[in-house]
Chain A
Amino acid sequence: METNYLVIMALLIGCLATTIPVFMALFFTGMVGLVWIAGIDPQIVIEVLYRSMDKFALIVVLFFVLCGNIMTTGSIVSKLIKTANCMVGFLPGGLAMAGILACGFFGAISGSTVATVVAIGGFMIPALLENNYDEKFSIGVMTTAPILGVIIPPSIAMILYAMVTNDPLEALFLTGFVPGFLIMFFMSLYAYFFCKRRDAMTMPKPSLQEVVATLRESLWALMLPVLIFGGIYSGYFTANEAAVVACFYAFIVEIFIHRDLKLREIKGVVISSAITSSTLLVIVAGASVFGEYLTFEQIPGQIANAVVENIQSPWVFLLSVNLLLLIIGMFMDIISATLILTPIFLPLLSRFGIDTMHFGLLMTLNLGIGYCTPPLGVSLYISGAVADRDLIYVSKAVMPFLLIQIAILMLLTFWPDLVLFLPHWVYPPS
């Protein structure tokens, strides 16, 4: 039996390493396991592929992706940056702080790190350099701050995690606010001291009229997160409904109020969103086939037994998992890793008494950090292309910020209440 497991594992790693699309790698592995090893009719495997997409909850992914794309195509990014700049731009390191804050704002609309790097980083890195900020510092801050895109809700990785664990999505979303705030605060603090020490240029403090004018201009954009979270946490909308309403609102605002989305651009935005969401959702289909094999052979349970025999402390377990996820995050994208690894870790969480929502946040944060960890983090390459710098330069630039994020990760790992107090306060456990 162990030989079979080794074959399956080698096949999965082999397919992934040879750049076969992730969902097909999962499909092939699940197919080999179910059909050739377990002797199941191959048509059942195709049926699994069909049924896995027949779920209403998946609507959230499509519509949050669409909402982010509408806003990126329109003028939201420049409005968010302008607002953030107005709020903190006059402090030492203010423009960098504005970039971090804008990533936070954008993260509250979009659910993806890459989208945030492209939308905010592509705009802010040149802006920081034009304002004589240190180049390495500028690249570092705008490569790592977009992690807020997956930490601050709505987060696509969290949506898919909730689908696997059956955690209430509304509560899981709440786990992201405190970590998101901590990341913003400590990165901004570093930016403040770094720039103050170097006497970096600061902007004049805006007058009250300027603040009011900026807020008025950005009001419709800033209302979107209010609509999403206000709707969800007042109990007026479910997360699914919030995604639909957010999309509709974004269309109305960008077409009729901002007038920055032309009618002829709508088709392109919708198609590109459908393609982006399909590249994410199809991994759910592949993971369902692979998950069917794992369940059939009771592999997660066996792994859980083996781990529990060797590790007794939940803290040691969490520390080991953090290390493992940080390494995996360097090689694998967050969606694939979440869908492949969650079913394997899930039985272990109950054995160690770890809250699934706490673990979900840690997993998302770990894999998010992986996006900007050398040598293979996607964000490094995007920022490198924007700033026209090589990988080694960008890798050195991100180091101080990575250390801050890893320190926050450790804090959140060993202090679960910091993550859980908000969801437990809003949704008291029965």
Chain B
Amino acid sequence: MKKLIYYIHRVFSFVEDWSLFATVMVALSVAIANVALRKLTNDVNLYWSDEVVRKTIFFTTYVGCIAAIRNRSLIRIDALPQLFPFLKKPLTFFSHIGVLVFSGFMIKLGYSLAEMVYYDEYAKTASLQIPEWYFYAVLPIMGVMMFVRTLIIMVEDWFGIKLCEPPIEDEVA
């Protein structure tokens, strides 16, 4: 079981890290190329660059959120656990439940919205004519990945164990 969770973590981390890296680098390259062309030539301009950057921001924000759950770096107000340390464990548990509920919303509502856009043949981006449902589909996918990630860190926090570290072979055997 521990081995399976570890592999899920590895696959998720691979997807999160590489997709974030690739999209940010694409956005930076496109944006800098557009600025350079606009400033150096005065009349040449990548008309689709704004769209690429906007979609990249959307993508990195929501995929970055899943990675932020992994790193436990989502911004929260931890005044109560700081003032009353004994509340830390129950509040963390409650907070994880909140994330699971949010993931549920994303899966259900995000899926139905993506499905609706999928059937709309005119729902395409303005410049590059990319079907919009590609981007809407990020929401339910984010929901599923958030849900799994949160379950893993819930178990880690509650039992004080590390599931995202390579399992020791003897232990697995």
Contacts and interface: CB of A to CB of B under 8 A. Distances in A.
A244 B27 CA distance: 9
Contact of A56 (B35, B50, B60, B80): B50
Contacts, number: 174
Contacts of A63: 28, 31
Contacts of A248: 28, 32
B53 interface: yes
B77 A16 contact: yes
Contact of A279 (B65, B92, B98): B65
Interface string A14-28: 011111111111011
A282 B65 contact: yes
A336 B75 contact: yes
Given A19-B94, A275-B67, A331 B77 contact: yes
Interface in A294-336: 331-333, 335-336
A398 interface: no
A283 interface: yes
B152 to A, nearest CB: 17
B80 A279 contact: no
Contacts of A118: none
B98 A59 contact: no
Given A19-B92, A50-B136, A59-B31, A280 B75 contact: yes
A332 B64 contact: no
Contacts of B28: 63, 66, 244, 247-248
Contact of A278 (B50, B64, B105, B109): B64
A273 B68 CA distance: 11
Given A19-B95, A274-B64, A279 B73 contact: yes
B57 A66 contact: no
Given A45-B109, A54-B58, A267-B17, A278 B63 contact: yes
A183 B21 CA distance: 38
Interface string A31-59: 10000000000110111011001111011
A28 B98 contact: yes
B60 A277 contact: yes
Contact of A19 (B27, B68, B91): B91
B77 A19 contact: yes
Contacts of B112: 43
B139 interface: yes
A49 B113 CA distance: 12
A43 B113 contact: yes
Nearest to A24: B102
A280 B81 CA distance: 22
A53 B58 contact: yes
Nearest to A240: B31
Given A19-B95, A53-B62, A273-B24, A59 B53 contact: yes
B41 interface: no
Contacts of B109: 42-43, 45-46
A372 interface: no
Contacts of A425: none
Nearest to A247: B28
A53 B61 contact: yes
Contacts of A270: 20-21, 24-25
B24 A59 contact: no
B94 A18 contact: yes
A344 interface: no
A267 B50 CA distance: 24
Nearest to A16: B77
A245 B35 contact: yes
Contacts of B102: 24, 27-28
A245 B40 CA distance: 14
B65 A58 contact: no
Contacts of A375: 82-83
Contacts of A285: 61
B54 A56 contact: yes
Interface of B: 17, 20-21, 23-25, 27-28, 31-32, 35, 39, 50, 53-55, 57-58, 60-65, 67-68, 71, 73-83, 91-92, 94-95, 98-99, 101-102, 105-106, 109-110, 112-113, 116, 135-136, 139
17 contacts: A19-B80, A19-B81, A19-B94, A22-B77, A24-B99, A46-B109, A50-B58, A53-B57, A53-B62, A54-B58, A58-B57, A66-B28, A274-B60, A274-B63, A278-B63, A278-B64, A332-B77
